Amino acid sequence: MRYITPVIAWSKNVVPKVKQYTTDAFSKMHQSKQWQTASKSIGELKAKSISIGSKVEKHVKRHPIKYTAAGAGVTGFGFAKTHSGQEKKLKAYFRTLPKSDPRYKIMKEKGWV
């Protein structure tokens, strides 16, 4: 407690001054023309994005099966694409195996090598 007591006393003295300074600076910034035009344009953009977002949300709610199928299709395409890349890597890896390796023989039987 003895170490914190001076900090508490200091903060009681400094915090009101800092609070007053930041409040004044922030209110001055809010009154500037640049701030007002920026906040107005942000509000306009926000209104457009909200209206577009609500339209999309309504459409998704009306057609859930379409979007579920689309999601599954995209996921399946991603898996297929990844698998095709893996197949090339496996072929390259198994070509480097010695011919006496049982894995090489299995790959040879399946026509991969």
In this prediction, residue 88 has a pLDDT band, given cuts at 50, 70 and 90, of confident
Residue 25 lies in a domain: no
d(CA 108, CA 24): 79
Residue 79 lies in a domain: yes
Please tell me the predicted confidence (pLDDT) of residue 71: 84
Tell me 1's DSSP state: -
In this prediction, residue 32 has a pLDDT band, given cuts at 50, 70 and 90, of confident
Mean pLDDT of the chain: 77
Residue 27 lies in a domain: no
In this prediction, residue 47 has a pLDDT band, given cuts at 50, 70 and 90, of low
pTM of the predicted model, to two decimals?
A: 0.31
Domain tally for the chain? 1
Residue 88 lies in a domain: yes
> In which domain, by residue range, is 48 found?
33-110
Residue 18 lies in a domain: no
Q: Is the pLDDT of residue 112 over 70?
A: yes
d(CA 78, CA 68): 15
| CB burial of residue 62 (10 Å; 0-12, 13-18, 19+) | exposed
Place of tokens 């910034």: 29
Residue 66 lies in a domain: yes
Residue 20 lies in a domain: no
Q: Is the pLDDT of residue 1 over 60?
A: no
In this prediction, residue 66 has a pLDDT band, given cuts at 50, 70 and 90, of confident
| CB burial of residue 113 (10 Å; 0-12, 13-18, 19+) | middle
Residue 7 lies in a domain: no
Please tell me the predicted confidence (pLDDT) of residue 62: 87
